[in-house]
Amino acid sequence: MTKSLEVINELYKPYKITKKNSVLILNTMTGDYVVKPNPHINYATLYQYLKSRNFNYLPELSLDSRDDLVVLTYQEDIMIDKEQKALDLINLVALLHSKTSYFKSVTKDKYKEIYDNILNNINYINNKYEECFKTFLQEEYTIPSHYLFLRNYSLIYNASKYTLDKLELWYNEINDQTKQRVALLHNNLRLDHFIKNDDEYLISWDNYTFDSPVLDLYHFYQNEWANVSFTSIMDTYNSNFELSKDEKMLLDILISIPLDVDFNHSELENCQNVRELINYLNHSSKIVFND
């Protein structure tokens, strides 16, 4: 127990302490609190900024927070359908982006850097899977995970080609732009980081940053693509805070890049990972943005 936690315990005098992942829940006579390690971001500054933008969907921050610990009021989450929870969350995210977005000046080098990073990622995946394809074809006895990969290689290849082609179209679209829309991003969106009861709350802001709104949507997709319908999610988001043409193109590219499968696990895990890759690509191919 750290010295700071000893001080918190003395201040709140909890009658029960529950550990949940990396946080502690303190049940006290005056209310319940969450105590979590401070990731060395200034929560007070974040809260002050969001409240100045009339975005108040945050658990209350205690004045007793310390350099190494953050103390928040505990909020109980009610059970609702995942699809409904995802739509409620994305409404809140659209509000967050609309309240905090602005256009900042950028040079051509900024967009070139984004282009190069995505291109390198696509080429890495493409080259890796092309090598896997060649190697697996030469095997005398093909194990199940390799057979599953070979049967679906055309899906993987077509996804890589699609992202490369669309990346070039995107870069031609934004090559001459001198401004980029940015907003405050939660930067780790997932269903369990949204709490709903009488009010609504976004929690776990440890990775917040200012960047393109596309990244919040991409990370949410990466975390929850198998759990909820993203067609309705994007319809809801765009009805509240519409992405521009080039932002839609960028999101389309990011979610279409094949997952990186590591074949160095047990055969069962390898089969599961290849199946997840196939499901991911099939799922992503059904999400079409109107350019």
- Determine the pLDDT at residue 291: 43
Same domain, 123 and 60: no
| Boundary-marking domain end, from 74, 107, 124 | 74
Residue 94 forms part of a structural domain: no
Cα(12)–Cα(31) distance, integer angstroms: 9
Same domain, 63 and 123: no
Residue 82 forms part of a structural domain: no
Same domain, 153 and 237: yes
> Which has the closest alpha carbon to 72: 141, 165, 8?
8
Same domain, 238 and 189: yes
Residue 69 forms part of a structural domain: yes
Same domain, 120 and 246: yes
Q: Which residue has the tokens 């988001």?
A: 237
Residue 118 forms part of a structural domain: yes
Same domain, 124 and 58: no
> Which has the closest alpha carbon to 201: 84, 61, 57, 17?
57
Residue 137 forms part of a structural domain: yes
The CA dihedral of 203, 198, 86, 97, to the nearest 10 degrees, is: -60
Same domain, 70 and 106: no
What does the radius of gyration of the chain's CA atoms come to, in whole angstroms? 22
- Determine the pLDDT at residue 11: 83
Same domain, 31 and 105: no
**Backbone dihedral angles phi then psi of residue 231, each to the nearest 5 degrees:** -65, -50
> Which has the closest alpha carbon to 165: 252, 229, 223?
252
Query: CATH code at 213?
Result: 3.90.1200
Residue 90 forms part of a structural domain: no
Which pTM was predicted? 0.92
Same domain, 198 and 257: yes
Query: Average pLDDT for consecutive 10-residue bins of the chain (291 residues)?
Result: 71 87 88 87 92 95 82 91 96 98 92 96 97 95 96 96 96 92 97 95 94 97 94 95 95 96 95 97 79 43
- Determine the pLDDT at residue 82: 94
- Determine the pLDDT at residue 289: 52
Same domain, 125 and 10: no
- Determine the pLDDT at residue 2: 65
* pLDDT tens column, 97-124: 999 999 999 988 999 999 999 999 999 9
Number of domains comprising the chain:
2
Residue 189 forms part of a structural domain: yes
Q: What's the domain range around 70?
A: 3-74
**Backbone dihedral angles phi then psi of residue 242, each to the nearest 5 degrees:** -80, 135
Residue 89 forms part of a structural domain: no
- Determine the pLDDT at residue 186: 97
Same domain, 171 and 257: yes
The token pair that represents 222 in the structure block: 């990466």
Same domain, 110 and 68: no
